[in-house]
Structure 1
């Protein structure tokens, strides 16, 4: 495993502007490190504690210091991600994802209303047309009753699945019981990646799809183990990564035995700048599999202020001590 000195010697912290406010952020910070196998990214969100963030560091070390599993495919079909924007902005957001025929739509945003969600999803359906696929992501913000009401209102738009509609496993199990007749699967995200036992929610019958994010799960191989343990069809997603981090997600998606759903690895389109001259963004609805080499000029152009770089250095040191 890499020593803290190995990580810090190659460290570049970047501060990237975003095209759209997403997850409450207008800018995205990330720490990039270089190992013997190539560049890797450490970018847990600032509010995450060291224990949770240490898994992200383990993932960066795995990707930078060891070769990924043998890929089974060289391109990954991806979905568009629609933040909680007004309905009138939906078409402009979807235009950032050329060729993508699946859209993940954020709902249950703080400060928004159920009517806002309906209007947004309706606009997505109108833009994608009848053949497009729509999945919703509530980030666990609905109660069971709220989720049930929302599904009934939104089912007319032909939903592919609901991602983490409620927070707890017990709530998800109850929601599944109530909406089973609608044939809208529940996809497990936070219930997997924030759990001590990532497969527990699947065993309890809380969902029918598993969301895999390489960084929060500790790396590509731990994520593959989670997929195998749940026995559920998997969707690989990202955490608003730079192209370096998205390359790790693409390597995970490439290694899965089966990939029945489009993956959430197109979020580079939400960034107004990136660290690579050829960023990993959707082209004809797919992203390529392969490592990304940052451009030194872009690393310098988007370098975070010294105080933020120091903050990330301290964070890496603390998290490394937990591994």
Structure 2
């Protein structure tokens, strides 16, 4: 899981600097209103371990490998010092769209969550229409279904939403085979298909590329095991990529920015502006978009904010136990 030549730092080194925070969100996202994260400090600087709480240890261990890679591993040449980013629009009602997008000043691209449980296609149409009105005709709209559709539902939905001039549709269905089917069915519309879960949750993250099931890969540093591992996957896949976040603090987003900055060709705006979805962050200088872009830099947390938003003792113990279990899997 770690690069074959990487050295695992002692567990005590991780535990000595571990801080667990619980940060409220501006609006519910992925069904949660509080984002928990565990921060660490290594020789390279601060890093983050924040797999979602429902993930099992096998999956979460990749996120720990990423934290160790960013805090203790090799550094990679940075090919750019800023990264263009997209706004992220949760599955909110149409009348809430402008208030959310106001938090992403200068972003020319919006990723819109669709296929949310409990909603219908009409809700998606209304949300996307409101976003198009907000952006104007020159703005870019991409959709993220989080594998929420069947193949038939995806075809119907994409047909209904194509009128809003879509840049691409991310993970419309669950399996690689279903993605390939959707890609074939909507090819005449000229709308690319992007793969997210089929990359970051797969035993073989390159399977979707080999199957010709996607035009674009969504890559996230933590779920893929870190910057070093993600760069290797990108090189082998041979497809355009979008670097995205996993609703991290600015420390975790910094990891994603360092990945994006190390990719030779970065054609698309990246989904790394999600600190704007946090009501509070861990730093006095959060990674918030300015003119639609983020600076590539390391982030140093504020001690006052770490204390003010420290998780409860029970939750801190839960995260430290998780860290120890995942470390054993790496070891």
- Give the TM bin, normalised by the shorter chain: over 0.9
In the other structure, the counterpart of 1:301 is 308
Query: For the residues of structure 2 that align with 1:9 and 1:52, how far apart are their CA atoms?
Result: 24
In the other structure, the counterpart of 2:5 is none
Deviations 1:13-47 (A, max 9, x none): 00001111100011100000000110000000000
Query: For the residues of structure 2 that align with 1:157 and 1:4, how far apart are their CA atoms?
Result: 50
Deviations 1:213-236 (A, max 9, x none): 000000001111111111100100
Of the three residues 124, 131, 135, the one matched with 2:131 is 124
CA contact (8 A) 1:4 1:316 kept: no
2:80 aligned with 1:73: yes
CA contact (8 A) 1:139 1:166 kept: yes
In the other structure, the counterpart of 2:148 is 141
In the other structure, the counterpart of 1:37 is 44
- Spell out the pairing of 1:143-222 with structure 2 (5 A cutoff): 143-222=150-229
Cα displacement (A) at 1:287? 0.7
Query: For the residues of structure 2 that align with 1:218 and 1:2, how far apart are their CA atoms?
Result: 16
Cα displacement (A) at 1:281? 1.1
Cα displacement (A) at 1:64? 0.6
Runs of 4+ in structure 1 deviating by more than 3 angstroms, as ranges, are none
In the other structure, the counterpart of 1:290 is 297
> Matched residue pairs, number?
323
Unaligned ranges ≥5, structure 2: 1-7
Deviations 1:98-121 (A, max 9, x none): 000100000000011100000000
Deviations 1:271-315 (A, max 9, x none): 000010010111110011010000111111110001100000000
Cα displacement (A) at 1:186? 0.5
TM-score by length of 2: 0.97
In the other structure, the counterpart of 1:274 is 281
Cα displacement (A) at 1:66? 2.5
Cα displacement (A) at 1:67? 4.2
Deviations 1:61-96 (A, max 9, x none): 010113431100000100000000000110111100
Of the three residues 98, 115, 134, the one matched with 2:105 is 98
In the other structure, the counterpart of 2:4 is none
| More displaced 10-residue stretch of structure 1: 286-295 or 62-71 | 62-71
CA contact (8 A) 1:13 1:31 kept: yes
2:240 aligned with 1:250: no
Query: For the residues of structure 1 that align with 2:207 and 2:315, how far apart are their CA atoms?
Result: 37
In the other structure, the counterpart of 2:90 is 83
Query: For the residues of structure 1 that align with 2:190 and 2:9, how far apart are their CA atoms?
Result: 46
Of the three residues 263, 276, 281, the one matched with 2:270 is 263
Unaligned ranges ≥5, structure 1: none
